[in-house]
Amino acid sequence: MTTVFNLSILIEWAKFQPGTSFFIPCLERKQVQKFVMNECARLGLDVVSKQVIENGVYGLRVWRKEVILAPHSTSA
């Protein structure tokens, strides 16, 4: 569990699979976003985050990008 600006956050990084997302309800979205993006970079996770309002709740949505492999080219 991590505390950022008096907000306790528990993110189960091992369960954060490509193609999934999570929402952190918070008012200090910019600071929480910076913390989460730094953690993702440290862990080598390719993510996108956006400050959002979901169902009237301010927060941060973080998506883990899908791993897309480029097709192999075959030369004859």
Phi/psi-derived region of residue 35, left when phi > 0, alpha when psi is between -120 and 50, beta in every other case: alpha
Within 8 A by CB and 6+ apart from 11, the residues are 2, 22, 36, 39
Does pTM surpass 0.85? no
Name the residue among 58, 73, 63 with its Cα closest to residue 16: 63
Q: How confident is the model at residue 76 (pLDDT cuts 50, 70, 90)?
A: low
Contact 61, 20 (CB under 8 A): no
pLDDT tens per residue across span 14-71: 899 999 999 999 998 999 999 999 999 999 999 999 999 999 999 999 999 987 766 7
Q: How far apart are alpha carbons 64 and 22 in whole angstroms?
A: 9
